[in-house]
Amino acid sequence: MSYRFIASDLDGTLLDQHHAVNSLTAATLQTLEARGVQFALATGRHHLDVKGIRQALGVRAHLITSNGARIHDPDGKLIHSHDIPPQLARALAQPEFAVGAILNFYLDDEWLIDQPCQDFLDMHRDSGLQYRISKLAEHDGVGVGKVLYIGEHDHLLRVEQALQQRFGAQLYITFSLENCLEVMAAGVSKGHALGLVLQRLGIDPAHCLAFGDGQNDVELLRAAGHPRLMGNAHPRLSGELPDARRIASNAESGVAQHLRELFAL
């Protein structure tokens, strides 16, 4: 099989247990790029954050960010954008859904949050991305690519249910981590974005490998001809893709180890 394209989630997948790039992963991707393989980094993170991760990896990758609400090419040009309708973004910021969680808006070039969150600053330390505290319940809702609720998992499960009941198919609602419930416009997903990138490059999905561990990776894995589940994959994802091949965990550099085996590096 000729693998021409690799798409990978970041946290829990390509990055290690400390949310960092390790030397084995960077060296592996650089070797494959020299052989003509192309890449996409597909994540719920903001594109301003992922630029630093791409630099640390040392490859020219497309960036699929905010779970597919934004796509940037390897030169940093925005090639796809899909915002939440403003009236829905305004509704998502109201106390009915936001109380009990930390609320975030991802805009094109800014990360807004309604209260401080040191854990998220720590997670973004390497990129230097900083949030700005804002009264999001008063935001006009324009230009919002992603709404993110951070909180206890049991609470977020109730928020997820309430959002599904209220908005149904008007929004794409998914978990990226146990404490991160993410909301995008209907039709947005990592898988849809990957399809757009592959179409742009003229690459058949049959030549694409994809790696993921979280619930927001299901569409990404389904869009690729060769899906791979991390050893640490969430049970919901495993249940959605029972036949997908499972590899080692991100803490074991599972993606790099699998690629080195597959490409005989």
Which residues are catalytic, by number?
Answer: 9
Contact call for residues 132 and 120 (beta carbons, < 8 A):
no
Which helix (H) or strand (E) segment is 8 a member of?
strand 5-8
DSSP string covering 90-110, please? HHHTSHHHHTTSEEEEE-SS-
Q: Reduce the DSSP state of residue 264 to 3 states and report it.
A: coil
- Six-digit token pair at 115? 């209260």
Contact call for residues 32 and 6 (beta carbons, < 8 A):
yes
Q: What DSSP designation does 61 have?
A: E
Contact call for residues 112 and 132 (beta carbons, < 8 A):
yes
130: Cα within 13 Å, side-chain hemisphere: 3
Contact call for residues 108 and 144 (beta carbons, < 8 A):
no
Instruction: Count other Cβ atoms within 10 Å, centred on residue 203.
Output: 14
- Six-digit token pair at 101? 């969680």
Which helix (H) or strand (E) segment is 79 a member of?
strand 78-81
- DSSP lists the bridge partners of residue 183 as 147, 173
Q: Work out the angle between the directed axes of helices 254-262 and 23-34 (0-180°, nearest 10).
A: 30
